[in-house]
């Protein structure tokens, strides 16, 4: 009996062990899976570990990546005032290493205040700071699993209306019929607003290369080109015209006055950026809306324009004016004066979508610039990574992904990188 009982118990224990073995292994596998899964630490433990950058377009496009101790990377872009700024990016990086990237406004202010005697009021300093600040927002959004617009306080709209800059450059001496054809092409693509350049450096009618006064033949050319555009696309499509700050105040007044019958959306930068009083004189002389701001920096730069009623519409470049937080401050300041916010944009799709997050977050957004090169130059699809279509029927759909929703593609960008400048090193 004892032997039988012992045998029974031995068999039962063996059977139980065999039965339990799969469950024991399952539990161990689950535990190992948890151990292998990357875990983010608390947001308060997030730290910046490095900043790297790359340049394309002769240095006029700066791309920044900010790295963290949680393997989250933020992406940002700066334009125009960026050639030769590699070492400035690295200098900012040294000031940021070891700090928490979620304190975006604080880090922005730390760098800006530390540069009071280094040019922190405008120009290259602010353009590079713009790229860095944008990358901080992207990193913060990814760390908190929120799109940037949500970090900016939420959205007023899901789609961002854009106008097509047709890049019908005047140095090719286009005729009025060329303007008409280019405008019709943009409308056929689904855009409800178009923009053209009016300044023509090689216009045979110019007095000389340095005189900012346009003669009557030049002004007539400008009108004929815009009149052909209006006739081709009808009364319900918006038209903008850009003079790139290449003329004097009397010329700006004459052109704005002559364009009045064409119901322009705006006349952009007829004179250089510096003289607010001259802008005000032009704006008060015409019913054509005057737009400026591409070459102004920080909210400080827009305050005089708004306080003096110098322009009807502001157009800060959000890859140059100070970053996304500063862009929202500029827009909110303009809103106090009931002035529309229509950002300038000559960046990649990373910059375009970063701009969209700001445009969604403010009530007085009017329209955002869009470039024909997104459709005709394959580089602009190769240098970034994104989901879906870039633009549909004249609107950009706001990304709902964490951060900006668009990232730098280093491999795609490498072949366009500026020579003799370190590339993300």
Q: CATH number, domain at 110? A: 3.30.390.10
Domain boundary among 145, 172, 189: 145
Number of independent structural domains in the chain? 2
Pinpoint the alpha helices (H) of 115-215: 123-144, 148-151, 176-188
Query: Are residues 169 and 113 part of one domain?
Result: no
The reply to whether 66 falls in a domain is yes
The reply to whether 82 falls in a domain is yes
In degrees to the nearest 10, what's the CA dihedral of 262, 266, 270, 274? 160
Which pLDDT does position 41 carry in this prediction? 61
Q: CATH number, domain at 207? A: 3.20.20.120
The reply to whether 4 falls in a domain is no
Query: Are residues 270 and 169 part of one domain?
Result: yes
The reply to whether 410 falls in a domain is no
Query: Are residues 314 and 265 part of one domain?
Result: yes
Which pLDDT does position 170 carry in this prediction? 76
Which pLDDT does position 310 carry in this prediction? 98
Query: Are residues 396 and 255 part of one domain?
Result: yes
Tell me the C-alpha distance between 422 and 51, whole Å. 13
Q: How many helices (H) and strands (E) does the chain have?
A: 15, 13
The total of other beta-carbon atoms located within 10 Å of residue 257's CB is: 15
Determine the structural domain holding residue 104 and report its residue range: 43-145
Tell me the C-alpha distance between 303 and 300, whole Å. 5
Which pLDDT does position 88 carry in this prediction? 97
Q: Which residues of the chain have pLDDT under 70?
A: 1-41
This prediction's pTM: 0.89
Among 375, 367, 328, 327, which residue's Cα sits nearest to residue 349?
375
Query: Are residues 185 and 245 part of one domain?
Result: yes
The reply to whether 178 falls in a domain is yes
């Amino acid at each position: 009996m004892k032997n039988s009982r012992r045998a029974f118990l031995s068999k039962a224990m063996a059977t139980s062990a065999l039965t339990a073995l799969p469950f024991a292994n399952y539990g161990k596998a689950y535990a190992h899976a948890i151990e292998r899964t990357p875990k983010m630490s608390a947001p308060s433990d997030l730290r910046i570990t490095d900043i790297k950058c790359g340049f394309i377009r002769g240095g006029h496009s700066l791309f920044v990546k900010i790295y963290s101790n949680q393997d989250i990377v933020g992406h940002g872009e700066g334009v125009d005032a960026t050639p030769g700024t590699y070492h400035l990016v690295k200098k900012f990086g040294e000031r940021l290493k070891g700090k928490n990237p979620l304190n975006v406004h604080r880090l922005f202010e730390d760098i800006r205040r530390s540069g009071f005697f280094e040019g922190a009021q405008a120009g290259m300093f602010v353009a590079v700071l713009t790229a860095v600040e944008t990358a901080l927002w992207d990193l913060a959004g990814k760390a908190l699993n929120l799109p940037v617009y949500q970090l900016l306080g939420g959205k007023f709209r899901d789609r961002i209306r854009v106008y097509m800059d047709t890049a019908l450059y005047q140095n090719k001496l286009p005729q009025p019929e060329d303007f008409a054809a280019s405008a019709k092409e943009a409308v056929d693509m689904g855009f409800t607003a178009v923009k053209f350049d009016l300044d023509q450096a090689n216009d045979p009618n110019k007095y000389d290369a340095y005189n900012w006064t346009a003669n009557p033949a030049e002004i007539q050319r400008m009108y004929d080109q815009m009149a052909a555009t209006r006739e081709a696309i009808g009364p319900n499509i918006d038209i903008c015209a850009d003079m790139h700050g290449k003329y004097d105040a009397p010329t700006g007044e004459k052109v704005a006055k002559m364009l009045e019958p064409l119901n322009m959306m705006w006349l952009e930068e007829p004179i250089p950026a510096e003289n607010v009083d001259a802008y005000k004189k032009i704006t008060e002389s015409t019913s054509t809306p005057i737009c400026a701001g591409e070459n102004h920096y920080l909210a400080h730069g827009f305050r005089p324009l708004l306080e003096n009623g110098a322009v009807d519409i502001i157009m800060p470049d959000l890859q140059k004016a100070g970053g996304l937080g500063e862009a929202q401050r500029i827009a909110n300041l303009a809103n106090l004066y009931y002035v529309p916010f229509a950002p300038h944009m000559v960046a990649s799709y990373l910059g375009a979508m970063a701009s969209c997050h700001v445009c969604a977050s403010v009530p007085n957004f009017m329209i955002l610039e869009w470039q024909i090169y997104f459709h005709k130059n394959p580089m602009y699809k190769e240098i970034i990574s994104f989901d879906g279509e870039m633009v549909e029927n004249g609107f950009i759909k706001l990304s709902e992904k964490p951060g900006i929703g668009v990232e730098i593609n280093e491999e795609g960008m490498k072949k366009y990188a500026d020579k003799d400048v370190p590339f993300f090193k």
